[in-house]
Structure 1
Amino acid sequence: MTGTLISLISIVIGIISANLFGRLYKQYTFGFKGNTLIGVFGSILLIKTFGRLGFDPWSIMNDGDFDGFRLIINLFVSALGGVFGLVLAKIMQKKLNR
């Protein structure tokens, strides 16, 4: 598994989590396309921020040695990024539409 593949999997997890959260909580949805777009950017933002602590894809690979614990943390943070991005976008939309 390469660092690029881990990055792509993280983005897909962010998309899935944003769409599932939007489906479960209708007040936070922007439709499928909106949730997908917000899931991508929320996931990337949180992974880039959290990756500075050593959970980026290249630290997971660690010179060819795979670290499963860091991968699980990376995927969990990616899912949280999708959800947080969706919630933040809805809060911003409510503030701007007052």
Structure 2
Amino acid sequence: MTGTLISLISIFIGIIAANLFGSFRKKFSFGFTGNTLIGVFGSILFIKIFGRLGFDPWSIMNNGNFNGFLLLINLCVSALGGFLTLIFAKIVYKKMNK
């Protein structure tokens, strides 16, 4: 795996997390397209912020050595970013429409 492939998998996990959370909790949903966009941006944001701690895609593939534990952390943070950004976006949406 390369760093780019790991990044794409992380973004895909964020999309899945946002859409699943939106389908289970209808009051936080923006529809499929909205949840997908929020999942993309949320997963990228969280990976960029928390990737500085050492589990960015290029640290996972350090000199050709694959670290599965760092990949698992990366994917969990990406999923967390997807659904937390969805919650945040819905709160902001409700505040602006009052």
Q: Return the TM-score normalized by structure 2.
A: 0.99
For these two proteins, the number of residue pairs brought into alignment is 98
Equivalent residue number for residue 22 of structure 2: 22
Equivalent residue number for residue 55 of structure 1: 55
The alignment-based identity, stated in percent, is 73
Runs of 4+ with >6 A deviation: none
Deviation at 1:32, TM superposition (A): 0.1
Q: Which runs of 5+ in 1 are unaligned?
A: none
Counterpart CA distance in 2 for 1:26 and 1:84 is: 15
Q: Which runs of 5+ in 2 are unaligned?
A: none
> Cα RMSD between the aligned structures?
0.3
Equivalent residue number for residue 3 of structure 2: 3
Equivalent residue number for residue 86 of structure 1: 86
Counterpart CA distance in 2 for 1:24 and 1:75 is: 20
